[in-house]
Structures are given as structure tokens and as C-alpha cells.
Amino acid sequence: MSADAAVVVAETSDPVAANLWVNELRAAGVEAAVMERGHGAAFGARGLPLLTSYAVVVPRRELARARSLIADLGGAAFLSPVPGDEGAFRRRALLLLAAAGAALLAGAIFATLR
């Protein structure tokens, strides 16, 4: 992936927060833009608030800095996964499945002991 390729750094349903992050990123010298996602965006109109999200887009070369700035502004919960790190997603999914399996097994053992 090119260093200039656009990547989503964060996504929120709050257009005010997305624009605040973009303004702060630009003030710090990071190229950034907001991209509306949802059914309204596809037709060039405003969508329903619950069905619309706002993605903050930056060049890949600025991703780490942008993530840090948004986290400092209280937006850590809205950060998108790092592109190209699908292995981390799979590891987390497997960990969650293992934890769920262990909980089910513990519940079954507990139920038989009663």
C-alpha cells in the first residue's frame, strides 16, 4: 500500500466530533478529510443519523500520528483497526471464541456438580 494512500483512521456517528478531529489534525499539519458513509451519502443527500457514519481519512504515512492525536482528544474508542493488520483481528476473534468456550465448559461443569 502506498504511503499516500488514504486510510480511515477513525469513524463516528457524530459529525461534530469527526469535524473537530479533522480540524485538529489539520492544525497539527496532518492532511485529513471527513467522508460521510451511509445511504444518504450514496445519493448525495443527508442520511438518517442512526444509519450514517463519518470516517476521518488521512494519508497512510500519517496514520500513527493521526491515531495518537485523535486518542489524545478523547476519541480512542472510535479509532479504526490498522489496515493490513488482519492477523491481529483474527487473534482477537480466536481469543474471544476460546473465552466463550471456556465459559460454556465451566457452566456445564458447574451445572453437573449441582
* Structural domain spans, the chain: 1-81, 84-114
At 58 the pLDDT is: 96
List strands edge to edge, sheet with 33-37.
6-12, 53-59, 33-37
Residue pLDDT tens, the chain, 114 long: 577 889 999 999 899 999 999 999 999 999 999 998 876 555 655 555 567 889 999 999 999 999 999 999 999 898 988 876 556 667 677 777 888 888 888 888 888 887
At 80 the pLDDT is: 87
Residue 99 burial by Cβ neighbours in a 10 Å radius (0-12, 13-18, 19+)? exposed
93 touches 25 (CB < 8 A): no
pTM for this one? 0.66
Domain 1-81, CATH homologous superfamily name and number: UreE, C-terminal domain (3.30.70.790)
At 72 the pLDDT is: 94
What b/e sequence results for 52-74 when a residue is b if at least 16 CB atoms lie within 10 Å of its CB, and e otherwise? bbbbbbbbbebbeebbebbeeee
